[in-house]
Chain A
Amino acid sequence: MTTETQAGARVIFERPALLTDLSTHYCPGCGHGVVHRLIAEVLGDLGLGPRTIAVAPVGCAVFAYDYIGVDFVEAPHGRAPAVATGIRRVRPDAFVLTYQGDGDLAAIGTAEIIHAAGRGELLTAVFVNNGIYGMTGGQMAPTTLLGQRSTSSPGGREAAFHGYPIPMTEMLAIMPGVAYAARGSVADAPAIGRTKQYLRRACEVQLEGRGFAIVEVISNCPVGWGMTPTESMERLRDVVAKEYRPGVIVDRTKEA
């Protein structure tokens, strides 16, 4: 709580309790701030704060443990799903969440996410995909779009030279161990609202013991993309969302 109620006015929106009262290191307009808040809201709504053991990535969100007020362990780059598997197996009562960027999950950590998903581990994986490596200065990611410039693809990504962007969540969704896979966006308030619903469902899937749940959130990187935050959200909506389409990709909990 950061404010007192004013003269009996109703609070319509405020900082969630599980989001710590710190100014973040994220760049102005960075979607990580929104995703952190949504996670804090969902965990709070579901009463999961005291039970959560979360796994932090390597990337811009390496400091996630300073901003979301739950127990956290730092994982080596890409290994969060394996670290989370270890936690899940020895702590059946814990709620286990991973938070990864596109380098962490789709590059160095491909084996770990595929096998955690393939085993149907009772985990909720959050995959923030902004198509670039922000922390290290804006290099190409496996999810960088064709034609997109980065510091390691200065002429723009070319299929013949760099390969195609990898649709990780669609690939994972093929496997029966994946109970729920969805893709949200932070491009605007309606998209943010839907993303919160996906995150909530992904948490419920774990609580219901249904299997592995992943929510990819396509997000922005104003500095890495060389745009203002407003321009980056427009690109997110008009360009990125055409390639990485938001929506529920698979929901096996509805099939049984």
Chain B
Amino acid sequence: MTTATIPPTSLHHGHRVLMKGNEAMAEAAIRAGCDAYFGYPITPQAELLEWMARRMPEEGRPFVQAESELGAINMALGAASTGARVLVSSSSPGISLMAEAMSYMAGSEIPVVLVNVMRAGPGLGGIGPSQADYFQATKGHGHGGYKVPVLAPSSIGEAMALMADAFELAEKYRTPVFILADGTLGQAMEPVELQFRTPPRLASEWVLTGADGRPPRVVKSMHLEPEDLEAHNLHLEAKFAEIAAREVRWAGEQLEGAELVIVAYGTAARVARTAIARARAEGLPAGLFRPITLWPFPSAALAEVAARARGVLVVELSAGQMVEDVRLAIEGRRPVAFEGRSGGMIPTPGEVVDALRRLSAATADATGPATEARP
């Protein structure tokens, strides 16, 4: 049963409503022109599927609860190959099942938006929130070597906005796009000012519509001749380079004069925000660097921000995954500390402030490039 309490007829652009994250993402997708939704129930994103089950038929658009996440992602592959704007959602174990099709979609250049409402793992794990799928999303997920844009909202309003952006990115670059949320964002309710956006449709010469008055088209990822497949890989790499050059997003808060920079995304960024307020109140000059694209990772911007600080603290709902990209971006020039919780636990602002104090003490007499502080 859906727990939605808000009839969609009252969801007007510009109105302020209290909305559950999963449902808000679903409605944002519908307003962004999502033509079809395929999914499978899994906690903590079942509400997204249930909202779609009710709303998509109202809009006259296909909804399918597939037999598994394998079925759902492959239905998405097929639908998107005909030019449809397609959404799939799941949570971590289901995302693992989708890795095969993601690789095929990256190789065949098929645009699909995939929401991962992350839960704690590994394995069946738990249903608490997590950020432990960072590696999975940003380092290729499936086999064969590819990247997909990864968008990380840290509020429900931002999640709705990024949904429209995700469809746009997917179609512009002919790529799957991840939206990486976590169980807290998915299941919490918060006030949102509704900002819906429907990205324009791009004309495309590759979609399958039936070979009526034109030569047949084939959407495929197989290129058996090594020379051909290498050329295809170089083409994909050029695409990834273009995305990396143009689509990096991040947000800074209170970075002016920040000697200690917290790097965090999603729910961790919200905890960091509270911690920064408390830290500044006790005289610790801390600021927040919040990546919004986890891939392409805002390495250059982070390096620049870190250069003006004494030290960097990475906060994640995991044992530490993004921290590796932070260290790569900073290249050892500043100490990088880490604070994280696993298993569905969320770091508290108090724990983060303690970590800031430790980092501050460790870098108190830093005058130049320092050796790394290990977490």
| A interface residues (Cβ-Cβ under 8 A, vs B) | 49-53, 55-56, 62, 65-66, 69-76, 79, 82-87, 89-91, 93-95, 111-112, 114-115
Q: Is the CB of A53 within 8 A of B74?
A: no
Q: Is the CB of A74 within 8 A of B210?
A: no
Q: Which of B36, B71, B86, B211 contacts A50 (CB 8 A)?
A: B211
Known A-B contacts A85-B75, A86-B38; the reply to A71 vs B80 at CB < 8 A is no
Q: Which residues from chain A contact B66 at a C-beta distance below 8 Å?
A: 82, 115
Is B342 in the interface zone, CB < 8 Å from A? no
Q: Which residues from chain B contact A62 at a C-beta distance below 8 Å?
A: 222
Q: Which residues from chain B contact A50 at a C-beta distance below 8 Å?
A: 210-213
CA–CA, A66 and B223, complex, Å? 13
Is B67 in the interface zone, CB < 8 Å from A? yes
Q: Is the CB of A65 within 8 A of B64?
A: no
Q: Which of B78, B100, B211 contacts A70 (CB 8 A)?
A: B211
Is B220 in the interface zone, CB < 8 Å from A? yes
Q: Is the CB of A90 within 8 A of B62?
A: yes
Q: Is the CB of A53 within 8 A of B77?
A: no
CA–CA, A55 and B70, complex, Å? 16
Known A-B contacts A73-B78, A82-B75, A111-B68; the reply to A89 vs B211 at CB < 8 A is no
Q: Is the CB of B208 within 8 A of A82?
A: no
Q: Is the CB of A73 within 8 A of B75?
A: no
Q: Which of B108, B212, B217 contacts A51 (CB 8 A)?
A: B212
Q: Is the CB of A72 within 8 A of B219?
A: yes
Q: Which residues from chain B contact A89 at a C-beta distance below 8 Å?
A: 36, 62, 64, 75, 79
Q: Is the CB of B209 within 8 A of A75?
A: no
Q: Which of A82, A90, A91, A93 contacts B70 (CB 8 A)?
A: A82
Known A-B contacts A62-B222, A74-B220; the reply to A79 vs B208 at CB < 8 A is no
How many A-B residue pairs lie within 8 Å, measured between CB atoms? 133
Q: Is the CB of A70 within 8 A of B216?
A: yes
Is B294 in the interface zone, CB < 8 Å from A? no
Q: Which residues from chain B contact A114 at a C-beta distance below 8 Å?
A: 67
Q: Which of A69, A72, A83 contacts B75 (CB 8 A)?
A: A83
Count residues of chain B with CB under 8 A from any CB of chain A. 39
CA–CA, A56 and B218, complex, Å? 10
CA–CA, A168 and B178, complex, Å? 36
CA–CA, A222 and B113, complex, Å? 44
Q: Which residues from chain A contact B36 at a C-beta distance below 8 Å?
A: 86, 89-90
Q: Is the CB of B81 within 8 A of A73?
A: yes
Q: Which residues from chain B contact A66 at a C-beta distance below 8 Å?
A: 218
Closest 8 pairs (CB-CB, A-B) = A86-B78, A86-B79, A50-B212, A83-B78, A86-B75, A82-B74, A89-B62, A74-B220
Is B104 in the interface zone, CB < 8 Å from A? yes
A178 to chain B, nearest CB (A): 16
The contact sample of 18 A-B pairs, CB cut-off 8 A, is A50-B212, A53-B209, A65-B220, A72-B220, A74-B108, A76-B101, A82-B66, A83-B77, A83-B81, A84-B78, A85-B75, A85-B78, A86-B78, A86-B84, A87-B208, A90-B84, A91-B209, A112-B71
Q: Is the CB of A111 within 8 A of B70?
A: yes
Q: Which residue of A lies closest to B84 (CB)?
A: A90
B34 to chain A, nearest CB (A): 11
Is B35 in the interface zone, CB < 8 Å from A? yes
B304 to chain A, nearest CB (A): 42
Known A-B contacts A53-B82, A82-B66, A112-B71; the reply to A90 vs B210 at CB < 8 A is no
CA–CA, A174 and B210, complex, Å? 32
Known A-B contacts A82-B70, A82-B74; the reply to A73 vs B219 at CB < 8 A is yes
Is B221 in the interface zone, CB < 8 Å from A? yes
B65 to chain A, nearest CB (A): 10
Q: Which residue of A lies closest to B208 (CB)?
A: A71
CA–CA, A51 and B71, complex, Å? 24
A52 to chain B, nearest CB (A): 6
A209 to chain B, nearest CB (A): 16
Q: Is the CB of A90 within 8 A of B35?
A: yes
Q: Which residue of B lies closest to A119 (CB)?
A: B64
Q: Which residues from chain B contact A70 at a C-beta distance below 8 Å?
A: 210-211, 216
